[in-house]
Structure 1
Amino acid sequence: MVDIDPEASAAARFAYELRRHRLMAGLTQGQVGRRIGFSESMIGMVETLKREPTEGFARLCDRVFRLDGVLYGLYKEAWPPPPPVPEHFRDWAAEELRATTLRLWDPLLIPGLFQTETYARWIIECAPGITSEEVDQRVSSRMQRKRALFGDDPPMVWSVIDEGVLCRPVGSTSIVREQLEHLVEMARHPKVTIQVVPYGARAGAGLLGAFGIAEMRGIPYTVYVESQPHGRTIDERSLITKIVNRYDAIRGEAHSQSLSLKMIEEAVRKWI
């Protein structure tokens, strides 16, 4: 039997409470499974944090145990819905909330998780044919994605950016300065590490495009790769391995965390 600490995370609380109420009701995993239409193994995996429940699963368990929405409330806390992002980005937005570690590389822009509203708005407005309503929606969605960093159990984020990102004009001088000041704040977040790849580093392969890697307890399980007209989420093991190897090679050329922070602070002073 796996001991679950209910204080470890919202997901752990859900698993703990599911098992506790099942035992209080005097039911086996198989009996609960038959009552809600899921397999015995599914009940067991949810109780041991090996599988995530669905919304319907949580609601059905509430009905079986007559809990009046208790488990559903815990489900929403543990697995909140992803922001209303474009369809091609939905899978990755969900992984940003679920992953225990995120590894990001961006050779051109500040990563979306660290963008200020004015910086994001200027970038999004550049899309051909986009309406003002679509701009507002996408900016709002990008800002909502930041909740991944400020929840009860945020992921570790290892972000590597090219030095050119600090010098790239995006809108006005004030927009860039505000953005870099915010990046300094994010670099001091206890679960965020930002490193800068300097000009001249042997990281040419990384210039082909940005990407992100999502890990669960040390195991990379999906990646998001930027491309035109839009990016895509990939879960093919062979491609994930190649992206992870590329990320490690790029990060190997980056400055240390402390030196990178000094570079960002120096860049802030240049945008006056």
Structure 2
Amino acid sequence: MPEEDPGPVVQRLILGERLRTHREAAGVGLDDANSALGWYRGKLSKVETGTLGVSEKELVVLLSQYGVTGPDAEQVRQLGREARRRAAPERVSDWAKQYIPLERAASEIRMVYSEIPGMLQTRDYGRAQLSRSPVVTAADLEPMSTAREERGNRLYLDGAPRVKAVLGEEALLRRVGTPQQMRSQLVRLREMADLPTVSLRVVQLTCGPHAGLSCPFTLLWIEQARATIAYVETLTGADYVKSTGAYTLAFEQAEADALSEDDTRTLIDDFIGKE
């Protein structure tokens, strides 16, 4: 399978990590680098975490300050060019457009959800769920629901990312769409649970509250950028968090209380039989 274009969002993350490495190797402090460019305090930190982009002129100043020349400098400038280009439009909500290239570039995806997340949805389930959203227009329903199923189809291909999904039992109980659409969604989940790169586990209602189930999130390991990012979506926006310690702990707690993969498959089979 040809290597996918990582997109400007991921290239910005890689560029930021490369700049941080060069700065630390040169022994240059954040304040000194900010001063050299006349930047406000904290701007370089945002560049190094991939939150902000950087112009070609600004890159030249930084590379000069860090003493980076030759092929190393050209590689950084190339990353800068790739990070500045425009991305192709995604068939998702505006605030999620940064998430899709991150998901596509991730080699491992961990998630805790109290509902079936978009990546694991069928088109019909996604359409039924999105139709209840106050911020999704009728014109966007079909392309967005189709895009969700297409994202999940990547899990069936060679080179698929490793996915570890922990779902609350309520995700299986809540009826979305018609009985047939719900059954098809459960069948899709059951198929995914058998994929070699997918670990699917369920936290039963009897386990009580879990932080991750009350605040669903996704953890993305971007190997190219050597970074883990937490994606937390709200009704009208999303946060991208690089300080992921609390989210990692919440995932581990949910995973520890979840059913085993075999017991989860049996539970899903039971739900399919009831539909």
One-letter code aligned to 2:3: A
The match for 1:262 is 266
Higher relative contact order (CA 8 A, sep 6+): 2
Contact 1:89 1:233 in 2 (8 A): no
The match for 2:132 is 126
The match for 1:137 is 143
Equivalent of residue 206 in structure 1, options 190, 203, 212: 212
One-letter code aligned to 1:54: E
- Report the alpha carbon displacement of residue 91 of structure 1 after superposing the two structures with TM: 1.5
- For residues 193 and 99 of structure 2, the distance between their equivalents in structure 1, rounded to whole angstroms, comes to 22
Gaps of 5+ in 1: 1-6, 12-36, 58-79
The match for 2:170 is 164
- For residues 165 and 95 of structure 1, the distance between their equivalents in structure 2, rounded to whole angstroms, comes to 25
The match for 2:42 is none
One-letter code aligned to 1:268: I
The match for 2:82 is 54
Identity %: 23
- For residues 82 and 151 of structure 1, the distance between their equivalents in structure 2, rounded to whole angstroms, comes to 23
The match for 2:7 is none
Contact 1:81 1:94 in 2 (8 A): no
The match for 2:72 is 41
CA change 1:56–1:244 in 2 (3 A) is closer
* 1:10 equivalent in alignment to 2:10: no
- Report the alpha carbon displacement of residue 269 of structure 1 after superposing the two structures with TM: 0.5
What is the Cα-based RMSD across aligned positions, in Å?
A: 3.2
Contact 1:82 1:97 in 2 (8 A): no
- Structure 1 segment 58-137 matched on structure 2, within 5 A: 83-107=90-114, 109-128=115-134, 130-137=136-143
One-letter code aligned to 1:175: Q
CA change 1:249–1:81 in 2 (3 A) is farther
Equivalent of residue 224 in structure 1, options 219, 231, 235: 231
- Report the alpha carbon displacement of residue 53 of structure 1 after superposing the two structures with TM: 7.8
Aligned positions, number: 212
Q: Show CA shifts across 1:17-39 (max 9, x none).
A: xxxxxxxxxxxxxxxxxxxx996
CA change 1:246–1:177 in 2 (3 A) is same
- Report the alpha carbon displacement of residue 52 of structure 1 after superposing the two structures with TM: 9.5
Moved more, 98-107 or 221-230: 221-230
One-letter code aligned to 1:132: A
The match for 1:34 is none
* 1:192 equivalent in alignment to 2:198: yes
- For residues 199 and 248 of structure 2, the distance between their equivalents in structure 1, rounded to whole angstroms, comes to 17
CA change 1:242–1:46 in 2 (3 A) is farther
SS in 2 for 1:154: coil
- For residues 74 and 97 of structure 2, the distance between their equivalents in structure 1, rounded to whole angstroms, comes to 27
CA change 1:260–1:46 in 2 (3 A) is farther
- Report the alpha carbon displacement of residue 202 of structure 1 after superposing the two structures with TM: 4.4
One-letter code aligned to 2:214: L
